[in-house]
Each structure stands twice: as C-alpha cells, then as structure tokens.
A = this chain, B = another copy of it.
C-alpha cells in the first residue's frame, strides 16, 4: 500500500439507532484523525440511508410490504433493545440531545462532508426490492467485491 493514509471500513448490517450511532461515532472519529473511511450498508443498514419522504417506486407486493414495515431513514430507526414500540428510541434521542450529541442524520452529513465513502450493497437492494432513488444523495452502489477490496486495504474492519 503506497497510501500514507490509514483506512477503516465499517460494514453496517444493523438498522438500529444505537448501532448506527456506534458506526457513525467511529466513522467520524476516524475521519477527524484524517483516516479514510468506507461504510458499506447491507440489509437492515439500508434503512439508515433511505430518504425520509415517500418515493414512488414500482414494487412487487412483498417488496412493498417489506419497505412499508421497515423504518424510512435515520430519524425513524428503533433500538436493538428496550425499544418498547419506539419509546426507547425516543428516550435515547432525547438523552443524546440533552448531552449535545449530534443526531444520526447530522452524523451522516458530517461523515459525507469529511469524505467518507458510503456504499449501499446492491445485492441487499435487489433482494429487498429497493431502487437507487430511494436513498439519500451522495451514496454509491456496489457489491461485495468492492467491500472486500476496501476491507483488504484497511487496518480496522468492523461488522456492526
């Protein structure tokens, strides 16, 4: 590797607000230390990058059902534990605000501005029936080979 920068990759499989928080705190921490960061969003992690507004898309019945049941974007995520129908996530967001911790949405913006690569896993998209325009601006679309190429060059790889 001739690159003088260190690289970190995070495979964001989870779509829970607490795990998304962990992923972005690590990502933004690494970016602040001038590392390169690649985040690869797979499966439930796709929900973090969904546009909050309703997007017209042709979907099969099951794809529509899946899309409808899952949270649309970073503001709608639930907790991995003690969610209590959204109550837990609401409490946590309030506590983050009180302690002046940025929201997931804010952290995504910070990461993008600091140059993080955010890649949506195309296979997950395909299986779940998502289309490219259902995701926020600035993300890339690629498969597992791209992830592995990045991960092989990184000195820290996490699956969250």
Contact present for A95 and B13 (CB under 8 Å): no
The reply to whether the CB of A30 lies closer than 8 angstroms to some CB of chain B is yes
CB distance from A54 to the nearest CB of B (A): 20
Number of identical monomers bound together in the oligomeric complex: 3
Q: Mark A46-86, 1 if CB is under 8 A from B, else 0.
A: 00000000000000101101100110000000001110000
Contact present for A127 and B95 (CB under 8 Å): yes
The docked-state distance in angstroms from the alpha carbon of A70 to that of B42 is: 26
CB distance from A159 to the nearest CB of B (A): 4
In the complex, chain A residues 79-123 whose Cβ is within 8 Å of any chain B Cβ:
80-82, 91-92, 94-96, 98-99, 101, 123
Contacts A/B (CB < 8 Å), 22 sampled: A8-B148, A11-B158, A15-B81, A18-B44, A25-B144, A26-B147, A26-B148, A29-B143, A33-B148, A44-B81, A60-B98, A62-B94, A62-B95, A65-B91, A66-B95, A69-B82, A101-B126, A152-B156, A154-B156, A157-B158, A158-B159, A159-B160
Which chain A residues have a beta carbon within 8 Å of chain B's beta carbons?
6, 8, 11, 13, 15, 18-19, 21-22, 25-26, 29-30, 32-33, 35, 42-44, 60, 62-63, 65-66, 69-70, 80-82, 91-92, 94-96, 98-99, 101, 123, 126-129, 143-145, 147-148, 151-152, 154-160
